[in-house]
Amino acid sequence: MDRRSFLLAAAAAPFALRAAAPLAYVTADTESHVAVVDSTHGIVVHRIPTRPDPRSVQRVGDVVVVTHTAVGAVSLLAGLDVRHVLDGFEEPRYTAGSPDGRYAYVTDSGRVDLAVVDVRRGTVAARLKLRLWPRHIAISPDGRTLWVGLGTASPELAVVDVADPTRPRLRRYVKPAFTAHDVGFAPSGRIWVTAGEERRISAHGRILGADAAPQHVTFLAGRAFVTSGDDGTLRVYDEATARLLHTTRIPAGSYNVQFLGNRVLTPSLNEGTLCAVDDSGGLLFRTRVAPSCHDAA
């Protein structure tokens, strides 16, 4: 191989590696774009311009759903492009996806309702009125039930039947042991609830100590990962026993947390970083993405 061919091959190799790696979508809420990050190497490979204030982001099948809370819109991304932008929202917040990848359930705290978005058609298929201000949301492993937090420190949670996604039905409201912030279904079906104001979380019906509220939770490889953005920590629990296994230091402002493949991602509002940890909580990389990063998926 001559020198020119060698240099061209060397330059192309990182791009080939990134093309094969799972891509993380990270919202840059102060810069009106979504950064696309190679989740293996922690490298920004693309930036997708969007409406202002992209906040939460969630994969639903082959579509990536982005909420724009300040401007009342929801973007649907496909690959590296914006496929649809849906108006008619007031303050869209967070999203859960149906297991078949067809529907996105989006909380709208401005309208005080839950919107069902058909991500294939790019339309709102249904809405369900709730009380208080719906925010964080989780879907059961069988895809039939949603639990919805009502505010940043919610005195109750809404339980919604979505056995028929286009006809969501409110089952009941439940009162957690403390004012709740985030809620998550583990693959086992067990429910974890984090606090909006206290250093506590609930798992398996037990109350556990935690770092500063608000905390957020996700699950991977039989473990629960709970972040405290104010304290800059990520706690790793055995999901089956709720036993604390490990604590990892992460940048302050790392509130939201999601899993992608075999790693857990948490972006920082304060530092504009994206951190990835393995299923034991070991830090894989910390990379700066933008001045502020709200969410990653």
Provide the residue ranges of all domains of the chain, joining segments of one domain with +. 53-175, 190-297
**Of all residues in the chain, what percent carry a pLDDT higher than 70?**
93
* Structure confidence at residue 20 as a pLDDT band (50, 70, 90): low
* pLDDT tens column, 173-212: 999 999 999 999 999 999 999 999 999 999 988 999 999 9
pLDDT of residue 85: 98
Residues 6+ apart with CB under 8 A from 269: 29, 229, 253, 254, 255, 292, 293, 294
CATH 2.130.10.10 for domain 53-175? yes
Collapsed DSSP state (helix, strand, coil) of residue 29: coil
Closest CA to 266 of 287, 280, 238, 291: 287
In this prediction, residues 214-241 reach a mean pLDDT of 97
Q: Is 278 exposed, middle or buried (0-12, 13-18, 19+ CB in 10 A)?
A: middle
The CB density around residue 126, as the number of other CB atoms within 10 Å, is 18
Cis peptide before 49 (omega within 30 of 0): no
Cβ atoms 26, 296 nearer than 8 A:
yes
Nearest-5° angle of CA 215, CA 49, CA 112?
45
Is residue 148 within a helix (H) or strand (E), and if so which, with residue range? strand 145-150
Which token pair is 89?
């929202």
* pLDDT tens column, 38-57: 999 999 999 999 999 999 99
Number of residues written out for the chain: 297
Strand order in the sheet with 33-38: 23-28, 33-38, 43-49
CATH topology of domain 190-297: Thrombin, subunit H (2.40.10)
Collapsed DSSP state (helix, strand, coil) of residue 7: helix
pLDDT of residue 6: 28
